Structure 1
């Protein structure tokens, strides 16, 4: 059984969602970053952390890629053109969507007050908005970014959409991207994950 360390209000959500999609059993320790529980597993104090037997893995993208590859689901095989295209969407999510959200977060409550640059948040929102336009073009009329096949790229993008709501970034209320985000939230695995975590809280 896998163990996932990290509060739900973090990138740990990506790992938990993926484990539900894979149908794999897990236990969840909703520890906060820099807590003793996290530092015991990851000296950097960062989350999420995945415990798989004696192995300790960090970084949500690395963890999700490992799990998907290990179980041969929610991903295209490494070394294929489809995998390269999938990885392109994952990298787009990290660079363009998460990058704007993370920079805004660091300058809102993560950095010490004397290091924050509050004015950068308007730039982050503009960059995020531009990225959504790119996503709309790349998505086209497909149900998921890779067509009919749901992949970890969708999980990363879906997580960013939820993060954007919390960060009060504008999301489209209609159109293909809005429908895509709704489609992701309606997946049974996503709903199952949220229900389990609510029961545990």
Structure 2
């Protein structure tokens, strides 16, 4: 059985949701970043962490990729054009959504007070909105790669939820409808139900 370490209200949701989607048993240990438990598993103190036997894996996207490859689901096979497109989507989401949101979060709460730039949020919100509009232009649905759900969808919907919670502009109806539909999935609802 997999062991997942991290809070549901964090990037750990990506891993929990994926495990729910693929029907793999896991035990969830709700820990906070930089806690003694997190630091014992990951020297950076970041969550999530997945323990699979003796293997300790970090970074939500690396964990999702590992699980997808191991269980042959929510992914395309390595070496295919579809996998290259999937990887491109993931890198775009990490660069244009996740990184922008994380920069805003750091300047809002995580950096030392003297290093925070309060005015940076306006430029980050502008950048996020521009990135979202550009991203929506490539969307054909119902998933990011057409008819097949992949780990890129989990990453995208998590980032859109994060943006909503952080007060970022989410005016694009195409992406709002997409995220709303995926949040109706039973696996997603079971994941959120574990919020502690």
TM-score by length of structure 1 reads 0.95
Q: What is aligned with 1:180?
A: 178
**Structure 2 counterparts to residues 182-197 of structure 1, below 5 A:** 182-195=180-193, 197=194
| Residue matched to 2:122 | 122
Q: In the aligned structure 2, how far is the partner of 1:30 from the partner of 1:36?
A: 12
Matched with 1:82 is 82
RMSD: 1.0
Name stretches of at least 5 consecutive residues in structure 2 with no aligned partner. none
CA deviations on 1:29-83 (whole Å, 9 max, x unpaired) are 1100111111111122111100000000001111000000000000111110000
- 1:159 is matched with 158
User: How does 1:6-85 map onto structure 2 within 5 Å?
Assistant: 6-85=6-85
List, as ranges, runs of 4+ consecutive aligned residues in structure 1 with deviation greater than 2 Å. Answer: none
Distance in 1 between residues matched to 2:133 and 2:142, nearest whole Å: 16
Instruction: Tell me the distance in 2 between the aligned counterparts of 1:47 and 1:192.
Output: 20
SS of the residue corresponding to residue 86 of structure 1 reads helix
Q: Deviations over 1:87-134 (max 9, x none)?
A: 111111100011110110010001010011111111110111011101
Other-structure match for 2:107: 107
Q: Could you tell me how far apart the structure 2 residues matched to 1:39 and 1:179 are?
A: 38
How many pairs align? 196
Q: Secondary structure at the match of 1:51?
A: strand
Deviates more, 1:77-86 or 1:131-140: 131-140
Q: 1:185 Cα deviation (Å)?
A: 0.5
CA distance in structure 2 between the aligned counterparts of 1:25 and 1:180, rounded to whole angstroms: 27
Q: Give the Cα–Cα distance (whole angstroms) in 1 for the partners of residues 5 and 47 of structure 2.
A: 7
C-alpha separation in 2, matches of 1:124 and 1:89? 20
| Unaligned stretches of 5+ residues in structure 1 | none
Superposition deviation, residue 11 in structure 1: 0.6
Q: Which residue of 2 aligns with 1:139?
A: 139
User: TM-score, length-normalised on structure 2?
Assistant: 0.97
**Cα offset for 1:175?**
2.6
Cα distance, 1:150 vs structure 2 = 0.4
